[in-house]
Amino acid sequence: MQHNRYIDIRSGITMVVTDLHGDGAAFNRYIETFLALKKMGEADRIIFAGDVIHGYGHPDDDHSLHMVLRIMELQKEYGADSVIMLLGNHEMPHIYGVSLAKGNNEFTPRFEHSLGEYRPMVMTFFKKLPFVVRTVAGVSILHAGPDQSSINRLGRLRNFNHDSLLQDADATLAQQEDLNSVYDTYAQLSGHSYEDLARSYLAVTGPNDPRYPHLMRALFISERDQRFAVLWDFLFSQNERGMNEATYMQVCRQYLDALSAGAPSTQKVIVSGHIAVEGGFQILNDHHLRLASATHARPREAGCYLLFDAGKKVASAAALTPEVRGIF
């Protein structure tokens, strides 16, 4: 099924929250704030700009599944236009069975083992998540921000179809005469039993589990499918790192030009999260505002959200500064 991964918004006071990473206390505070603002007529929608899941701390402090299920409930209650969640680089791996880790943190196994009976419902939800919100204000909201390599490939993401990649990989696996030999090769490369890895990373029950081949499927997709490479670069962008200010300014302009194709107005500013910020937000240049709502704020108590009028033109990232509000 095709899904439009770009959402266009023409009006309404919009609240933007980023990178909560399983922080249940912060999540509850943002939800309470949004519902209070909505009741007073001071907010029309909330956008979770990706990476709702995967806590960095103790498992008991990771409320990822509860948070996703709550967002799904709120979306049903208030409508898909009022409660929006974007795909982040931490949600995407669960669609494909790709392992995601940072340092000593193995992110994906914990969430996979927590899913249980909710897995089909949550995966269906993740597969439908949009990638970008564009507004009449000229503000585009996305998870990771500008990526130099993606500028000429953004159009390929507009109607991105996860199922197409998964089905093509399944067809490749089906052509293998002896999957056990494929599993043995995987084990030799990794240094661990394929079954042990599948049980650990995918929470499968054993070789008879229909999802048992999916760890191998993920390897096929990540190494051989260029469509996946485009999605990966889009969600794992490192933005300005490795560039001087002038070069990154140009990248932002080109990125916005690409996002403006078919948009309700010319896009002038990108709001994203994804990368840690000293304080709750950072103005990188005229075209890019980086927001940190909890986990990526340094310190966490500096976490904040953006509240802006999606129908009122915004000239620069700095013009949004008065609309950034603290939560703690």
**Percent of the chain topping pLDDT 90:** 91
Q: Which of 84, 89, 6 is nearest to 48 (CA)?
A: 84
Length of the chain: 328
Instruction: Output the pLDDT for position 105.
Output: 87
Instruction: Output the pLDDT for position 249.
Output: 98
Given a contact cutoff of 8 angstroms between Cβ atoms, the answer to whether 183 and 287 are in contact is no
Instruction: Output the pLDDT for position 261.
Output: 96
Instruction: Output the pLDDT for position 177.
Output: 81
Q: Which of 168, 328, 138, 169 is nearest to 252 (CA)?
A: 138
Q: Which of 90, 177, 95, 143 is nearest to 291 (CA)?
A: 143
Over the stretch 201-223, which tens digit does the pLDDT of each residue have? 999 999 999 999 999 999 999 99
Q: How far is 220 from 168, CA to CA, in rounded Å?
A: 10
Rounded to an integer, what is the distance from CA 44 to the centroid of its chain?
A: 22
Instruction: Output the pLDDT for position 190.
Output: 87
In Å, how far are 219, 229, 248, 249, 305 from 96, measured between CA atoms?
A: 9, 13, 31, 33, 30
Q: Please report where in the chains the tokens 């990125």 appear, as a residue.
A: 255
Cis check: omega of the bond before 299, within 30 degrees of 0? yes
Q: Secondary structure of 80-122 in the HEC alphabet?
A: CCCEEECCCCCCHHHHHCCCCEECCEEHHHHHHHHHHHHHHHH
> Which one-letter DSSP state was computed for residue 20?
-
In Å, how far are 80, 110, 166, 205, 232 from 144, measured between CA atoms?
A: 22, 23, 23, 34, 11
Per-residue pLDDT 10s for the chain (328 aa) are 557 899 999 999 999 999 999 999 999 999 999 999 999 999 999 999 999 999 999 999 999 999 999 999 999 999 999 999 999 999 999 999 999 998 888 999 999 999 999 999 999 999 999 999 999 999 999 999 999 999 999 999 999 999 999 999 999 888 988 888 989 988 998 899 999 999 999 999 999 999 999 999 999 999 999 999 999 999 999 999 999 999 999 999 999 999 999 999 999 999 999 999 999 999 999 999 999 999 999 999 999 999 999 999 999 999 999 999 999 8
Return all residues near 208 (Cβ < 8 A) that are at least 6 apart: none
Instruction: Output the pLDDT for position 102.
Output: 87
Over the stretch 237-251, which tens digit does the pLDDT of each residue have? 999 999 999 999 999
Mind listing the domains of the chain with CATH numbers?
6-160+228-326 (3.60.21.10), 164-224 (no CATH)
Q: How far is 100 from 271, CA to CA, in rounded Å?
A: 24
Dihedral sign (CA 270, 271, 272, 277): positive
283 three-state secondary structure: strand
Given a contact cutoff of 8 angstroms between Cβ atoms, the answer to whether 142 and 132 are in contact is yes
